[in-house]
Amino acid sequence: MTDAPEIPVRVRAEVAALPPYRQGKQAGAEAFKLSSNENPFDPLPGVLERVQAATALNRYPDAAATRLRERLAERFGVGVDGIHIGAGSVSILAQFVQATSGAGDEVIYAWRSFEAYPWLAVVAGATAVQVPLTADSRHDLDAMADAITERTRAIIVCTPNNPTGPIITQAEFDAFVQRVPSDVLVILDEAYAEFVTDPDSVDGRLVLGGGSRPNVVVLRTFSKAFGLAGLRVGYAIGHPRVLDAARSTAIPLSVTAHAEEAALASLEAEDELLERVREIAERRDRLAGELRAAGWRIPQAQGNFVWLPGGAETLDIAAAFDAAGLIVRPFAGDGIRISVGEEASVDKVLRIAASVVKDLPEGHSGRGLA
Ligand SMILES: *Cc1c(COP(=O)(O)O)cnc(C)c1O
């Protein structure tokens, strides 16, 4: 509960019940900000120049982001109408939930997963159906399929799962989709796809190949691997008519010319960018490996972050990181997500984590071999 003053106008009860949005802490000059899964690298120099040269600020952008759609369509081997651009993939998620789900409809997703999912369902007026993760912090796709009812309109599947880290395999996803009615939308949220190194992982490109799954859409973003979180640009790949439904609910002209230009330039510099991604993935593997060696039970980590199961001690553990100048993302009573940041942050994280784990009680959910 908050002790915020009453809202002076009438708002929907479910909206009034939402905690007001407060952004995570901004890092001080000395601190490492490891709380938002941001890319620690600056954009490539070519990208900055292209953004600076982009269209005059007194003009609206191209509402359809045509050049970026053409470029992505080529890359994924689909028609231009099979790509939809949004101001971040979160805004596309919101569009799909709004397009499919209203009062009385159900949106299924795993929990714990991305913090935006519950909010998206509530704002659309729909009912959120949360299916607990397995003991090893993975999606329980059988339980999610079991949760489908006549009222289910959308199912969000996040891989690698934010904030816990494990992927869903291609075989698991294929078996799951078989169980979903063909008129229920499946949103495959692949915000961290570029960081995945597990060869068994589901790959949205394969899911869409041949168009045999028109009820599946794949979401990707330039915010994480491509390091453009500040410019807000993401995309969906899917059946053109399904994407049309999202386009109909979009706030027009949200994707700026600068965002489009930066995304285009980043795709052109992809080899260099992916080299950085490889570096982050290696850093992640080292971080996860050493945390396990120190006694932490770390689930599979395939994004640009690791998950420390903190249980009831979560906020105390986060305070220890905070005191050391490491801004991490705690989820009270559950665990802590730590982004893979600058090289210099890694040893610092390891040092604090190693000292904290020793204080955890025997049998604690965070202790032991993963
Ligand atoms: C970061 C993230 C997104 C996308 O963020 P945008 O910046 O809006 O593109 C989507 N899904 C998950 C699970 C994320 O972690």
User: What's the pTM?
Assistant: 0.95
**What dotted CATH number matches 13-42+271-357?**
3.90.1150.10
- Tell me, in angstroms, the distance from the centre of ligand 1 to residue 331's CA: 17
- Asked if 326 contacts 348 with a C-beta cutoff of 8 angstroms, the reply is yes
What is d(CA 362, CA 297) in angstroms, rounded to the nearest whole number? 13
Atom of ligand 1 lying closest to residue 222 CA: 9
Per-residue pLDDT of the chain (370 residues; tens, 9 = 90+): 456 678 899 999 988 988 887 666 666 778 999 999 999 998 877 899 999 888 778 999 999 999 999 999 999 999 999 999 999 999 999 999 999 999 999 999 999 999 999 999 999 999 999 999 999 999 999 999 999 999 999 999 999 999 999 999 999 999 999 999 999 999 999 999 999 999 999 999 888 876 678 999 999 999 999 999 999 999 999 999 999 999 999 999 999 999 999 999 999 998 998 899 999 999 999 999 999 999 999 999 999 999 999 999 999 999 999 999 999 999 999 999 999 999 999 999 999 999 998 888 888 888 876 5
Phi/psi at 33 (nearest 5 deg)?
-90, 105
Ligand 1 probe mutation, 68, 89, 228, 232, most atoms within 8 A of CB: 89
- What is the Cα–Cα distance from 370 to 347, expressed in whole angstroms? 21
Is residue 166 a contact partner of residue 299, using CB atoms and an 8 Å limit? yes
The CATH class that applies to domain 55-267 reads alpha beta
Q: Which tokens sit at 264? A: 């285009």
Where exactly are the structural domains of the chain? 13-42+271-357, 55-267
Q: CA–CA separation, 321 vs 33, rounded Å?
A: 11
Angle at 300 between CA 296 and CA 306, to 5 degrees: 60
Separation CA 12–CA 179 (nearest Å) = 35
Dihedrals φ, ψ of 67, to 5°? -65, -40
Residues with CB under 6 A from ligand 1: 37, 88-90, 114, 158, 162, 189, 191, 221, 223-224, 229, 234
Choose among 112, 117, 78, 111: nearest CA to 96: 117
Ligand 1 atom with minimal separation from the 223 CA: 7
Q: How many Cα atoms sit within 13 Å of 369 on the Cβ side?
A: 0
